[in-house]
Amino acid sequence: MNPMCAAPSVTRTAAPGLPHLPPLARNPKVRAAIDQILAELTREQSSLTGAIPGDPNKAAAYAAWMSRNNELRGRPTIYPYVGAGFGNGPLVQLADGSVKWDMLSGIGVHMFGHSDRRMVEAALESALSDVCQQGHLQHNADVLAVSEILVAEASRVSRLRHCFVTNSGCMANENALKICQQKTQGAPRVIAFNDCFMGRSTTMSQIGDTAAYRQGLTQNILVDYMPFYDPALGERSTEATVAALKAVIARYPKQHSCFVMEIVQGEGGFNVAPHEFLVEIMQVCKDAGIPIWIDEIQSFGRTESMFAFETLGVGAYVDVVTVGKLTQVCACLFTPEFNPGAGLLAGTFSSTTSAYHIGRRTLEILRDGDYYGPAGRIAKLHQAFRTCAEDLVRRRPEFFPAVIDAHGRAMPRVIGGIGAMMRLTPLGGNKERLGALTKVLFEDGVITLTCGHGPYHLRFLPPIGVMDPAQFQPVFAILEKSLERLG
């Protein structure tokens, strides 16, 4: 490793005496009322123990709601989902009375599933605050608390020292791009990996490697795509990507504002790049003066360390990192050298008070709990998923024909992912068949989605804060039933 990239030691000072709760939330009478609400919540949740079908008496009204919803949106939703606003961890109740296993968690947002007592408590406390929306000009102490935790955890293994919060992962990515562009005096090009996903704004749709997401949009940024790590090629994959990277840098010298990397790809298929691959690429960027921005909007909190860049051992190289989804409040973190000039980062809203309270509680539980490391809750959950998946693949090989990748090769494994980002590839990874399977799964009581760009995979993002490893057993029992029904 280049010694210039080493992360120096740092002394962190926490903001003293931050009042994390509104004054009214500390009132004994109010606390007693909150405790009573939580007790009633726990009592009501006891009835939700597994997936159940909808109430036939509610079917007509539910169908009418969905029809009106689709009319207002201008297009149908992927699933006929209208939540009842109630659940029990990984189980969610819909407005038609059905209960389903939520293995999508709002695409990774709901770490604690549905109606978790700790999150409801944080939301109740936030409702007693003076404002709904926090801003960058005026904010309360809970904004500082969220930033404090993120910077403290990131700076243990990196030079990240600053945090700018915002209300969406896409906006966090926009801020990261602006920081990198300002640092490089407006360099017009971006380097990204094949199959990346960046968000839905005009610019992020241009960087993301999905043609359908930018169809009809005016091109407003120049992107050079690099091959992501290919496990079938091993070291040759690293050599190929490094060669391609050096070639594009030589073709456009001093023209790149950054290399943005999902070191664990989300929408692209839950693909993971190993440490050695990343270090080789990052060193080329460092040598060329190209900033390194890691996008952890989906992977944050879901690997065996809070940050995926720590799990993969590349914290010393990063200049900018974006996080979101399960944090509730999204953020862009950056090193002192990338601290932008006044006026570049701003905005009326940063996020809601409830998002800050729940985000802070989430980060505290992640930090102080037993989630990380090879024996942590996330590792155990991943192993439970693999055990159930391997059992299904072994018993029902007819559902798992050969999966042919984009290069015409048979994939050696149909089970993949890392930590709480899990994937399974039945039905040969066929897009249409897997799309049909997700709809049958929804009907049978499991919510999931696909990922990948060919082959396609079933994507599992379980609520890691509350899911018991044994709960994968009823989930996989429904998956087997749904595969049988699909035929």
Answer whether residue 276 is part of any domain: yes
Q: How far apart are CA 266 and CA 455, in angstroms?
A: 14
Tokens of 327: 């944090």
Of 347, 368, 389, the one marking the end of a domain is 368
- Regarding whether 88 and 49 lie in a shared domain, the answer is yes
In angstroms, the CA 481 to CA 487 distance is: 10
What is the length of the chain?
Answer: 487
Q: Are residues 313 and 340 in the same domain?
A: yes
Residues 201 and 340 grouped into a single domain: yes
Question: Is 163 in contact with 333 (CB distance < 8 Å)?
Answer: yes
Q: How confident is the model at residue 10 (pLDDT cuts 50, 70, 90)?
A: very low
- Domain span including residue 327: 129-368
Q: Are 294 and 320 within 8 A, CB to CB?
A: yes
Residue that finishes a domain, picked among 368, 392, 415: 368
**Within-domain flag for 249:** yes
CATH code of the domain in which 470 resides: 3.90.1150.10
Asked whether residue 319 falls in the same domain as residue 454, the answer is no
> What is the average pLDDT score of the chain?
94
My answer on whether 382 and 345 are in the same domain is: no
What pLDDT shows up at residue 84?
A: 96
Residue 2 contacts residue 283 (beta carbons within 8 Å): yes
Domain for residue 124, yes or no? no
Question: At what angle are helices 275-288 and 235-251 packed, to 10 degrees?
Answer: 20
Residue 443 CB-half CA count within 13 A:
10
- pLDDT for 12 beyond 90: no
Number of structural domains (the chain) is 2
pLDDT digits (tens, 9 = 90+) for 52-109: 999 999 999 999 999 999 999 999 999 999 999 999 999 999 999 999 999 999 999 9
- Which pLDDT score is estimated for 17? 54
| Per-residue pLDDT at 22 | 86
User: Could you give the percent of the chain with pLDDT greater than 90?
Assistant: 92
Q: What is the pLDDT of residues 98-153, one digit of tens each?
A: 999 999 999 999 999 999 999 999 999 999 999 999 999 999 998 999 999 999 99
Residue 290 lies in a domain: yes
Q: Is 6 helix (H, G, I), strand (E, B) or coil?
A: coil
What pLDDT was estimated at residue 7? 41
C-alpha torsion angle, residues 342, 260, 218, 209 (rounded to 10): -160
CB distance 113 to 362 below 8 Å? no
- How many whole angstroms separate alpha carbon 282 and alpha carbon 259? 9
Q: Which of 368, 401, 432 is the last residue before a domain boundary?
A: 368
The 8 Å CB, 24+ separation contacts for 427-433 are 427/399, 427/400, 427/401, 427/483, 428/401, 428/402, 428/403, 428/404, 428/455, 429/403, 429/404, 429/454, 429/455, 429/456, 429/457, 430/455, 430/456, 431/456, 433/486
Q: What is the CATH number of the domain that holds 192?
A: 3.40.640.10
The neighbouring-strand residues paired with 226 are 193
Mean pLDDT to the nearest integer, 449-474: 97
Q: Are residues 421 and 464 in the same domain?
A: yes
- Residue among 245, 319, 242, 237 at smallest CA distance from 272: 237
Q: Give the tokens for residue 442.
A: 């929804």
Residue-wise pLDDT for 355-370, tens only, equals 999 999 999 999 999 9
Whether 149 and 210 map to the same domain: the answer is yes
Q: Let me know if residue 14 belongs to a domain.
A: no
User: Per-residue confidence at 18, pLDDT binned at 50, 70, 90?
Assistant: low
Predicted pLDDT at 142? 87
Beta strands 292-296 and 320-323, pairing class = parallel
Long-range CB pairs of 434-439 (<8 Å, 24+ gap) are: 434/458, 436/486, 437/482, 437/483, 437/486, 438/78, 438/79, 439/79
Statement: the pTM of the whole predicted model exceeds 0.85:
yes
The pLDDT of residue 9 is 39
pLDDT of 19 higher than 80: no
What is the per-residue pLDDT for 406? 85
- Does residue 348 lie in a domain region? yes
Residue 426 lies in a domain: yes
**In terms of domains, do 359 and 454 share one?**
no
**Count of alpha carbons within 13 angstroms of residue 377, beta-carbon side:** 18
Tokens describing residue 209: 């490697």
CB 309 within 8 A of CB 155: no
Give the tokens for residue 376.
Answer: 């942590």
Does residue 25 surpass a pLDDT of 90? Answer: no
SS3 category, 93: strand
338 and 435 assigned to the same domain: no
Same domain, 39 and 187: no
SS3 of residue 261 by DSSP: strand
**Both 203 and 351 in a single domain?**
yes
Q: Identity (one letter) of the amino acid at 320?
A: V
Question: If you average pLDDT over residues 322-340, what whole number do you get?
Answer: 97
**Amino acid symbol at 116:** D
Cα distance between residue 296 and residue 300, in whole Å: 5
Measured between its terminal Cα atoms, the distance across the chain in Å is 52
214-266: pLDDT as tens digits: 999 999 999 999 999 999 999 999 999 999 999 999 999 999 999 999 999 99
Is 8 within the bounds of a domain? no
Do 434 and 339 reside in the same domain of the chain? no
